[in-house]
Structure 1
Amino acid sequence: MAGITCYGLSSQSVLGLGSESSKSLLVMKGKQRGIRGFQIKAQVEFVNAEEAKKLVGVEGYAVVDVRDKTQFERAHIKNCYHVPLFIENTDNDIGTIVKRQLHNNFAGLFFGLPFTKVNPEFVQSVKSQFSPQSKLLLVCQEGLRSAAAAERLERAGYDNIACITSGLQTIKPGTFDSVGSKELQDAGKAGLVTIQGKISAVLGTVLICALLFVTFFPDQAEQILQMAPSS
Structure 2
Amino acid sequence: MAGLATCCSTLSSTSHVAVSWLEFQAHHSGRRTAWKPSRWRNANGIRAEVKFVKPDEVKKLVTEEGYAVVDVRDRTQFERARIKSCYHVPLFIENKDNDFGTIVLRTVHNNFSGLFFGLPFTKPNPEFTESVKNQFSAGSKLLLVCQEGLRSAAAANKLEKAGFENIACITSGLQSVPPGTFDSEGKTELQDAGKAGLVTVQGKISAVLGAVLICAFLFITFFPDQAEKLLELAPTS
TM-score interval, smaller chain: 0.7 to 0.9
Question: Which of 143, 149, 154 is 2:149 aligned to?
Answer: 143
- How many aligned positions are there? 189
Q: Is the 8 A contact 2:138 2:164 kept in 1?
A: yes
Alignment of 1:68-217 (within 5 A): 68-201=74-207, 205=212
TM-score, reference length from structure 2: 0.71
2: CA distance between counterparts of 1:30 and 1:72? 28
Deviant stretches of 4+, over 6 Å: 216-222
**Which structure carries more helix by proportion?**
2
TM superposition shift of 1:195 = 1.7
2: CA distance between counterparts of 1:32 and 1:198? 47
2: CA distance between counterparts of 1:140 and 1:97? 27
Structure number with higher relative contact order (C-alpha < 8 Å, ≥ 6 residues apart): 2
Structure 2 SS opposite 1:44: strand
Q: Greater CA radius of gyration, 1 or 2?
A: 1
* CA RMSD, 1 decimal: 2.7
TM superposition shift of 1:219 = 9.9
Percent identical residues? 70
Q: Where does residue 62 of structure 2 map in the other structure?
A: 56
TM superposition shift of 1:200 = 2.4
Q: Is the 8 A contact 2:42 2:163 kept in 1?
A: no
Q: Where does residue 21 of structure 1 map in the other structure?
A: none
Structure 1 pair 169–30 and aligned structure 2 pair: CA distance change class (3 A)? closer
TM-score, reference length from structure 1: 0.73
